[in-house]
Amino acid sequence: MAPAEGPRPPLHADSIAVGHGYDPADAWGAAKPPIVLASTYVYSSARAAKELHQAFFDGPAKAPAGGPIARGFIYSRLGHPNLSMVEARMAALDRAEAAAGFNSGMAAISTLAWAFLRPGQSVVHGRPIYSGSDNLLNTVLADFGIHAEGVAEACEEAAIRSASEAALAKGPLGLFMLESPANPTASITDIALVRRIADEIGARQGRRPLISVDNTFLGPLLQNPMEHGADLCVTSLTKYCGGHSDLLAGSVSGAADLIGRLQSLRVVLGNQMEPFTAWLTLRSLESLAVRTRRACSNAAEVASFLRGHPKVEAVTYLGFLEPGSPARAVYDRQCQGAGSTFSFDLRGGEAEAFRLLDQLQLMKLAVSLGGSETLICHPATTTHYNVPPERRAAGGIRDGTLRLSVGLEHPDDLIADLARGLDAV
């Protein structure tokens, strides 16, 4: 039968996550990608060596879409087959031209900051924000003369404008570094609104601030920041994309010229993703869609149980955003699901939170999120311990706040475990 004529319809993300970026013809027909551990690659001739180096250092953006193994490799810090496969897959999932893979989410975020910010510039970020990013912005970059301004009501135009003006008063605005939903409260940012404001600021200062969005909490199946105006989508692959709490990796997706700058800087910083981690990431991505769906449905049940419990004051689960509120409108427009990480506030403080945590038998008391197992932690004394109390409070992190990353166990067992913990409060 003759093949059907005309363009093929775009694949669903579920299908991209399974095989995109690997062609068995590149590896003896192996149905699954091999792990290529080589640190260096043999040139076919002296001229070929020169041409490879010319193409790498003087050519266009380093790894635009177009076949991961189509280009030659030189030395694995500059690039290697498993890294190219992950980058092709993440770019396709994030609906971007290209992606750069790193050895952690923080490596991705800090490389982005070094690539696109310069001393004297300012940054606007959401509040709360992952403590590593908070530390980078407010301590490390501050030492390099970069000023950070936080905004807590990131769906409200007046709040974003006022943070932007405060930042502009300190220096040209180089970057909106957003995290949506934000760690640990899952508060969301109106990316399209930030883009409108960034465009106006660009007209004023002669260069539009870039917009990066950390998409770790939802991942590529539930949110595509670039469809709403972001320039760069950051993902800690350690979380939902890795999905099993057994790897550390990160990626940034975006236009090929921006990603090329990150890949060039990565060569100097040496913070590229390693072959085995890249292979594990590819394998994990294959089940991202089914894991995401199950985690989301579990989270909806667990969050409903918590909301109805008398010892719980508030639950930040995105599915509970008030109909008619600005945040709800943004959520409906921007997200395809509520994810499975959120926080809840106990009536009480640290002592009550600790009593609950110490009773749990199924959920694991650990930082991180997005694994197959349910994880719970007390942000004020763990993930956000080194964020000063006033910045924690401004981001809605209280002494009675617990963060929950709902995994793939049976929801009844998770609810029974939480009920036991709450009995002890």
- Determine if 22 is a binding residue for ligand PLP (CB under 6 A): no
Q: Does 366 bind ligand PLP (CB under 6 A)?
A: no
Peptide bond into 181 cis (omega under 30): yes
Q: For ligand PLP, give the closer residue by CB, 69 or 188.
A: 188
> Residue type at 173?
L
Tell the smallest beta-carbon distance from residue 141 to ligand PLP (Å): 16
Q: What is the DSSP string of 108-156?
A: HHHHHHHHH--TT-EEEEESS--HHHHHIIIIIHHHTT-EEEEES-TT-
For position 174 contacting ligand PLP by CB under 6 A, the verdict is no
| Interacting residue with ligand PLP among 84, 236, 263, 281 (CB under 6 A) | 236
What is the signed CA dihedral for 358, 360, 365, 370, rounded to 10 degrees?
A: -160
Min dist. Cβ of residue 123 to ligand PLP (A) = 16
SS3 of residue 322 by DSSP:
coil
Q: How many residues make up the chain in this entry?
A: 425
Stretch that binds ligand PLP, among 101-109, 282-290, 330-338, 384-392 (CB under 6 A): 101-109
Instruction: Please name the helix (run of DSSP H) or strand (run of DSSP E) that holds residue 314, with its range, or none.
Output: strand 312-315
- Three-state DSSP state, 233: strand
What whole-number distance in Å separates Cα of residue 377 and Cα of residue 202?
40
Residue closer to ligand PLP (CB basis): 183 or 187? 183
What is the smallest separation between the CB atom of 58 and ligand PLP, expressed in angstroms?
A: 32
Does position 326 bind ligand PLP by CB under 6 A? no
Q: Tokens for 22?
A: 């690997």
342 binds ligand PLP (CB under 6 A): no
Is 122 near ligand PLP (CB under 6 A)?
A: no
CA 315 to each of CA 46, 66, 293, 304: distance values in angstroms, whole numbers, following the listed order: 63, 44, 20, 9
Q: Determine which residue in the list 73, 130, 279, 305 makes contact with ligand PLP, applying CB under 6 A.
A: 130
Q: How far is the CB of 131 from ligand PLP (least distance, A)?
A: 8
Nearest-angstrom CA–CA distance, 192 and 197 = 9
* Residue 212 contacts ligand PLP per CB under 6 A: no
Q: Hey, which residues are catalytic here?
A: 77, 130, 214, 239
Among 105, 126, 209, 407, binds ligand PLP (CB under 6 A): 105
Residues from 243 through 282 that contact ligand PLP (CB under 6 A):
248, 250
Which residues within the stretch 132-151 sit at the binding site for ligand PLP (CB under 6 A)? 132
The answer to whether 334 and 299 are in contact (CB under 8 A) is no
Number of residues located near ligand PLP, criterion CB under 6 A: 15
Give the binding site for ligand PLP (CB under 6 A). Answer: 104-106, 130, 132, 179, 183, 214, 216-217, 236, 238, 248, 250, 368
